[in-house]
A = this chain, B = another copy of it.
């Protein structure tokens, strides 16, 4: 028998990194509600509530809105693995780490990946996106709406229009936008969007919201090769969530928490929520600039959910982050890849996006950089 463990006693952190964000008390309360089985009538009521609420936060009339039983990356893998068949061309507009990740995932699933590249933190303009897709004529195009590695927002309308011209489907990674800034699935023309629960939705991680357009479903129904993942096969997931046929044992606990996180958004009103995120982001940027620091991403392209101020010359970002964690109990994150040591990554997402937290992090950052 292993030695006696000390009691579980997690430290109280203020979570202002790229996710997870703080969790609302009502969501913690949901987590300890009695579980029901994964085929219980009550479980499917919760599934249906989530389906409708996801339509609302994704701004879509799609009927297929589900939560995959894995983190955001499982949503990425489901999106790629279901909609690309071996040997098909997969085009990525690549301007950050998650663009590299989706390229890697697509290659693993047998796609031929072509990429248009930009430095991390820059966005593609409409014309270059159009030219790329018209030239490549891929089967699927992918972009990252909110690049967590760099802090830039990517507009998608021109990408979707050009992709549809050449009969390609569009996958958009909305991991760091959903619940914090407008995702606008239908207005943009996105076919498959996925996200996570632990950022703009302020729920613990563990599920990946995903929505699929009728156009994409039509493609999927005609697919002839099997999806290489059983766990992430959307046709099997449809038969589970829609027809109540067993596929896997989805977690009542996590579904309760997601329902309550989404209900909080509906009660706040999604537009009000976006406005709160925009407002707190702008207050943060004003404070950063008042400290003589600069933002990595140009104005107009910045995420409201995740800020990437540049690390001032001569400042050791790892030491600053360590001090914030140890002395202030605040978690933020650093840059990596080409941005290693060059930016901080500071999230103001969901329940973490408050005026009080903007004040706290600006103050603590100032002290920790001294």
Contact = CB atoms under 8 A, between A and B. Distances in A.
A56 B1 CA distance: 7
Interface string A202-227: 00111000000000000000000011
Query: Main secondary structure on chain A at its contact with chain B?
Result: loop
Contacts of A34: 10-13, 23, 28
A229 B229 contact: yes
A112 B82 CA distance: 22
Copies of this chain, count: 2
Nearest to A245: B336
A251 B73 CA distance: 13
Interface string A25-50: 00011111111111110100010010
A118 interface: no
A52 interface: yes
Contact of A249 (B52, B56, B72, B109): B72
A168 interface: no
B230 A8 contact: no
Contact of A20 (B31, B37, B230, B267): B37
Contacts of A227: 108
A53 B3 CA distance: 10
A52 B1 CA distance: 10
A104 interface: yes
Contacts of A49: 5
A4 B325 CA distance: 39
A151 B205 CA distance: 34
Given A28-B32, A73-B230, 6 more contacts: A11-B34, A13-B40, A69-B71, A101-B230, A108-B227, A198-B251
